[in-house]
Chain A
Amino acid sequence: MTPTIRIQREDFDPAAEIAAMSAGRTDIGAVVSFSGLCRDEAGTLSALELEHYPGMAEAEIARVAAEAAARWPLMGLLAIHRHGLVRPGEQIVLVLAASAHRRAAFEAADFMMDYLKTRAPFWKREHRADGTLGGWVEARSEDDDAAQRWTI
């Protein structure tokens, strides 16, 4: 199983990605899909600008994916992360995990997201609805706590 990692400016189609992952296979019993969307923060946000570290972003997500593949019996694993300007309601990130049974797929997708948030080199900056440039989004300690759940 080779994980698929894509870092791109363009939007993506979760249904098409799920179909591609399971196409021609009869051994997959579960595909878990997580989509992360851009919120408008009660109407105050016009867009999020996502900066990333080209090269390292792919490498780091690949390392996290390899760790997930070592921990759970996966039949498919995909992560897509966008960069550039993303508007409220648009998709930012997609994680798919496929396995014979649901538990491994759920846990692997959860693990991938926890580590994407704390280890993948992306930084969000707010563009406000009033036309001003907001600040850089601060890292949340809850995300670090969530990632800590998986370390033994």
Chain B
Amino acid sequence: MSDTPQAQTDTRSVKLVYFAWVRERVGRPEETLAIPASLATVADLARWLKTRGEGYEAAFADETVVRAALDHVHAKPQAPLGDAREIAFFPPMTGG
């Protein structure tokens, strides 16, 4: 799946980006993480992130509120992560 030479079989590297109050609660705008390959969906990833500390727990407290995008395309909680390289989490949008 990954083309990095040292890739492990049980994790893969993804870029995570956060916006608005999700960014503030997590405490950083972006990070690259090795995530377990066993995480199948957006909801699985959100639940895994939630275990990484207080900030993440606060950001993902209400799983039904936080939205996600896979490689710049909106994705529902049950959407498969597939081989997405950039995964974004953010509050409901308030543009326009």
Contacts and interface: CB of A to CB of B under 8 A. Distances in A.
Interface residues of A, number: 28
Contacts of B28: none
Given A53-B17, A56-B69, A120 B95 contact: yes
Interface of A: 36, 50-53, 55-56, 59-60, 81, 92-93, 113, 116-125, 136-139, 143
Nearest to B74: A119
Contacts, number: 71
A53 B19 contact: yes
Interface of B: 17, 19-21, 69, 72-74, 88, 90-96
Given A51-B20, A53-B19, A53-B90, A120 B96 contact: yes
B95 A124 contact: yes
A55 B90 CA distance: 15
Contacts of A56: 69, 72-73, 88
A56 B69 CA distance: 9
